[in-house]
Structure 1
Amino acid sequence: MKTILKHIKGDKVIWALVALLALFSFMPVFSASSNLAYAGHGTGNTLGYLVKHLIHVSLGFFVIYQIHRIPYHYYRSISRFLLPFIWILLAYTLFFGVEKGNARRWVEIGGISLQPSTFAFIILMVFVARYLSKTHKEPITFKSSFVDLWIPVGLTLILILPANFSTAAFMFLMVSMLVFIGKYPLKYLGIIFASGLLLLISFVGVAKVLKAVNPDKVPHIFERVETWENRITRYSDNSVKDPDEVYQIERAKTAIATGGLYGLGPGKSVQKNFLPQSSSDFIYAVIVEEFGLAGGFTIIGIYLLLLFRIIVTAQKTNTLFGRLVVVGLGFPIVFQAMINMGVAVELLPTTGQTLPLISSGGSSIWVTCLAIGIILNVTKKDEEIAAENAEKNKRDAALQRIIDKQIKDEEESGLPSENESIKDTSNEDNPMNVVLNK
C-alpha cells in the first residue's frame, strides 16, 4: 500500500472516493448484465460482461495515473489544437457514425465503440477555462468574446445537438456555469442564452416544415426533433404517455419500491431482467433494489463528498486556470450523477445520461477518468511538484554523467569525440574547407 501511495499524487480523498465508486460498480454491473446476457438467445453468462467492465475500469485508472502526471498547464494549448480535430470527428459521427436507437452518436475504432461527444466535453471545458483565465485581467467586449469563445462553443454544440439534445443542453449549461464563475459579464451571457434559444427554435421550426412538406424524406439531422417533443410532452402532460418510456420508468420505480430500507441483497434484483438499460441508464434503480435506500443514499453521499472535495481543492488552487479546470471538470461529474438518479425516480425526463464511474460503458468511464486525472493533477501539493522536479533533475544529472563519462573514455582512448570531430572539421586548415572557400 505504501508503494502505491508513493506513486500517486494529488488529493488523496478524491483518489479514495473515485476508487470506492469504481470498486462498488462491479456488483451492480455484474448483476444488471443478466438481461443483456439472455438477449438475442444468449447463454445468460454474465462473466463476460464483468470482465469487459473490469477492462474498462482498469484502462480508466491507467488513464487517471498517466494524465495526473502531466502538468495541467500543458492542457491550455492542447485544448486549442484539439478542438478542430474533435469538430471533424463530430461531423463524421453526425453523418456517417454508427446508428443506435435512431441516433448516430458512436464511431467504431478498432472494434471499440466510442462516443465523441463525451471527449468533446472535456476539451471544450478546458478551452473555456483557458479563455477565461487569459482574459480575466482585460476588459471583455461582446465582439471579441463572441469570436474567441462562443463561436467555438456554438460549433461544438451544433455538431452534437441533432443526435444528442440532452448532452448538448448539459454541455451548454456547464459552460454557462463556468463562464459565470469566471466573472463573464451577465448581460453578454443573457444575449448568448437568447441567441441559443432562438437558434434552437429555428432548428425545430425547419424540422417541422420539412416534415410537413415530405414526411418520408426528412434529413437525418432533423429526425430526432420529434423525439425531443414527445419526451417533453409526455413529461409535462400525464395524459400523453409513450408505452416504452412508461415501461422503463414503471420498472425503475418498482425496483426502488421493492428495495425497501436494506434491499433484497446483491444479485437478487428482479427488475434487472426487465429494464432495457439496467446496467447503464437505470443502474441506480437496480442498486436501490439490491441495497435498499441505505445503499441508494450512500451512493448519493459519496457523490456529494466528491463535490465538497472538488470545491475545497478549487479554493486551494493557486492559479485561476487551475481553479476553473477543477470546477469545469468536477461539477459536471456530480451533476450528471444527480441527473441519472433523478431520471430513475421520475424527477426528470429520460435523458440517457449514465451514472459516472458506476454504469457500464467504455466511453463514459474513460472520459470521467480523463477529467479526474486532470483534476488530480491540479490538486498536487507544492512538495509533490518539487519532488517530481527533483526526480527529473536527478534523471537529467545521471544522463549527463553518462555522457561525460563517454566523452572522457573517448579522450583517454585517443579517439576524437564527436564534438572534437565537428570542431576539427570546421578548422580553417581543413583541406575540405580550403576547397569550399576557393
Structure 2
Amino acid sequence: MAFSKFKVIFGGNRGIWIIIAVLFMYSVLSVYSASVQLPGTNTTQHLFKHVFGLLIGVACIYVIHKIPCKYFRKVSYLLYGLSIILLILTWLFAPEVNGAKRWLIIGPITLQTSDFAKVALIMFLANKLSKKEDEITSIGAFVKTILFPILLTCFLIMPSNLSTALLVFFEAMVLLFFSSINRKYFWGLVGVAMVSGGLLFCVILYGNIEIWRFPTWKARVESWIEGNPNEADQVQVNNARMAVASGGILGRGPGNGHAKVKLANAHCDYIFANIVEETGLVFAAILIWLYIMLFYRAITIVKKINKLEPDSELKPKYKFRQYLVLGLMSMIVIQALSNMAVSTDLMPVTGQTLPFVSYGNSSLLFIGFAIGVILSVSREVDDATAPIAKETEADGDVTIVVDAAASTDNADAASDTTTMENEVSEPEEIIEDNELNIDENERKQI
C-alpha cells in the first residue's frame, strides 16, 4: 500500500528518487561541515541557504516530472533560443568577477546562464537528432543542423568559462555517439575536435594573448603541468590533494577535516576533497557508485523504450525520449567526474560543482530540471510498459485483476471463442450420432 502511494506521488524510476535523496543527505552534511570555517559567517548561514536551494531543486524535480514529455519537445527550440539570448546578455551586462562574466542578475534572481544553456542544448539536439538524423546525408547538412548550434553555445560560454564550454562540447559529442547519425560525420568531428583542442592547448600554453581570460587559462595549465606551488589555483589543488591523501579508509570523522580551513571553496568546487578527508575512501567510493548507478538507471529507461517497438510514425517520438535521457544523464555524470578529477589533480581547475552535493542554488535548479525531465520520460515509459493484467493470490486462488476496458475486450473475445467452439462441436456431435446409428444397424443385421 505504501509503495503504491509512493508511485502515485513520485512517478518514474524509484531508484533515481532514492539516489537523489541519498545525494541530498551527503550534501547537507558536507556543506555544513565545509562551511563552518568560512570567515564572516555563522555556522548555519550557508546551511540554511543550501537547504533552501535543495528544497527548490526538489520542487523543480517534482513539478517537471509531472509534465508530459511531449511538451519538452515542443519547447526545446524555444529554450535553446532563450539560452542563446541569456548568454549574450551575460556577455554584455553581467558583472565581472575575477575577470569573468558568468552570473546574470535578473531582479532578485542570480543565474549562471551556462547551466541553463547546457540543459537547453541537450534538449535541442535530442529533438533535432530524433527528426533529422536520417536526413543528414551531407557535411553541409550536418554542420547546419547539428554542429553550428553546438559551436554557437560553446563560443558564447568560452570567453568567461573555457572549462564549461569544453564540457558542453564533450557532452554533445557523447549524445552524438549514442545517436544513429552517420558514423563518418561523427568520427570526422572527433578528429577535427582533437586537432582543434591540441591547437588551442598550444596557443594557451605558448601564446601571449591578453584577451578574454587567456592569462588565467595559461596560468592554470602551467601550474597543473609543472605543479607550481606558488600559483593560487595550484595551492588550492595541493590542499585538496592533501585532504584526499589524509582521509584514509574511514576518514577523520565528520566535522574533523583540516583542509576546509585552507580551501577557499571547500563547500562547492572542492567539496569532494572534504568528503574524502572526513568520511574516507569508503564513502567516497559510495558517492562515485551513486553517480554510476544514476547512469545505469538511465540505461534501463532507454532499454524499456526499446521494448515498446514503435511503428515508423511514432519512432521519432521515442527516439527523442531516448536521446533526452542519455544526454541529460551524461551531462550530470560528466560534471560530477570533472569535479572529482580536479580535487584529485587529474585535470586543471574547472570550477565545476558536484551535482546535488555542492553549494550553489543555480546549479541545483537546472540539474533538478534535468532530473525532472528524465523522471517524466521514465514515468511515461513505465505507464506504457505496465502489464494490463496482474495476477494476485488470494486464499490460494489466482485472481486476475484487469482494467474495465480490458475486461470488456476479454469478455467479447471469450464470447467469440465460445461461439467458435460451438460451431466446431456441432458437426462432431452429428458425426458421433451417425456412428451410433450405423453400429445399431450392424447389430440388427447380425
Q: Distance in 2 between matches of 1:64 and 1:52?
A: 19
Match of 1:419 in 2: none
Per-residue displacement from partner, 1:297-346 (whole Å, max 9, x unpaired)? 11111111112111111221241111111100001211211111111111
| Mapping 1:253-402, distance limit 5 Å | 253-317=241-305, 318=308, 319-381=318-380, 384=383
Q: Distance in 2 between matches of 1:207 and 1:174?
A: 22
Q: What amino acid is aligned across from residue 141 of structure 1 in structure 2?
A: S
The alignment's TM-score, normalised by the length of structure 1, stands at 0.79
| Mapping 1:22-421, distance limit 5 Å | 22-36=24-38, 38=39, 42=40, 44-193=41-190, 222-238=211-227, 240=228, 242-317=230-305, 318=308, 319-381=318-380, 384=383
Q: 1:9–1:384: 8 Å Cα contact kept in structure 2?
A: no
- Bigger radius of gyration, 1 or 2? 2
Worse-superposed segment, 254-263 or 346-355: 254-263
Match of 2:395 in 1: none
Aligned residues with identical type, % of pairs: 35
Q: CA RMSD in A?
A: 2.6
Q: Distance in 2 between matches of 1:308 and 1:203?
A: 34
Q: 2:223–2:231: 8 Å Cα contact kept in structure 1?
A: no
C-alpha spacing 1:386/1:291, structure 2 compared with 1 (3 Å): closer
Q: 1:34–1:273: 8 Å Cα contact kept in structure 2?
A: no
C-alpha spacing 1:115/1:324, structure 2 compared with 1 (3 Å): same
C-alpha spacing 1:136/1:148, structure 2 compared with 1 (3 Å): closer
C-alpha spacing 1:383/1:208, structure 2 compared with 1 (3 Å): closer
The alignment's TM-score, normalised by the length of structure 2, stands at 0.77
C-alpha spacing 1:138/1:148, structure 2 compared with 1 (3 Å): closer
Q: CA deviation at 1:367?
A: 1.2
Per-residue displacement from partner, 1:404-432 (whole Å, max 9, x unpaired)? xxxxxxxxxxxxxxxxxxxxxxxxxxxxx
Q: CA deviation at 1:21?
A: 0.3
Count of matched residue pairs: 373
Q: Distance in 1 between matches of 2:334 and 2:202?
A: 30
C-alpha spacing 1:7/1:60, structure 2 compared with 1 (3 Å): same
Q: Distance in 1 between matches of 2:129 and 2:28?
A: 39
Q: CA deviation at 1:189?
A: 3.1
Q: Distance in 1 between matches of 2:189 and 2:58?
A: 37
Q: Distance in 2 between matches of 1:367 and 1:338?
A: 18
Q: What amino acid is aligned across from residue 19 of structure 2 in structure 1?
A: L
Worse-superposed segment, 104-113 or 324-333: 104-113
Match of 1:405 in 2: none
Q: CA deviation at 1:199?
A: 7.0
Per-residue displacement from partner, 1:335-393 (whole Å, max 9, x unpaired)? 21111111111112111111100000011111111110000011115564699xxxxxx
Q: 1:35–1:274: 8 Å Cα contact kept in structure 2?
A: no
Q: CA deviation at 1:209?
A: 12
Match of 2:442 in 1: none
Point out where structure 2 has 5 or more consecutive residues left out of the alignment. Answer: 309-317, 387-446
Per-residue displacement from partner, 1:84-112 (whole Å, max 9, x unpaired)? 22212101111221222211011112333
Worse-superposed segment, 134-143 or 159-168: 134-143
Worse-superposed segment, 152-161 or 179-188: 179-188
Worse-superposed segment, 192-201 or 98-107: 192-201
Q: CA deviation at 1:262?
A: 1.3
